[in-house]
Structure 1
Amino acid sequence: MDGLVYLGFSLAVAGALLPKLGRIYISWRAMKGDRRFEDPDVYRYYFFKFRKTGLELVVLGFIVFLIAEIMSR
């Protein structure tokens, strides 16, 4: 049961950090000279993609955490 709790918590933390890490990655790629990431529309697309994936990880972590709590009772 503890493993599921840790897994749920880890997924939630990873999902919360993913949009910020995605923004850093996009800025780093633009700084390296990758012209795809200089366009604001492309930047916005990838940022929303990172945000959506992060939200999915948070929800998945919450579901795993709830399953672990239900199984422990």
Structure 2
Amino acid sequence: MNTSNITNYKPKDFAELIGVSVKTLQRWDREGILEVNRTPTDRRYYAYDQYLQFKGIKPKKYTPSSYLCKSFYKE
């Protein structure tokens, strides 16, 4: 699975990505360990930020000012 441009994952794909079963993801959701997002039709999905959270990586947040500073001082 190519994950370079994916921002939302189906439970099966997310489970495969992090190396657990779909049942484990469902249990973690029930226990509040890793909460899941839901579509308007109540289907589960996981966001890329949740993958980063699982891996212990803090997602980069670019505020307008930090983005402007980086582009202004770009050498």
TM-score, scaled relative to structure 2: 0.30
Structure having the larger proportion of residues in helix: 1
TM-score, scaled relative to structure 1: 0.30
Higher relative contact order, chain-length normalized (CA < 8 Å, sep 6+):
1
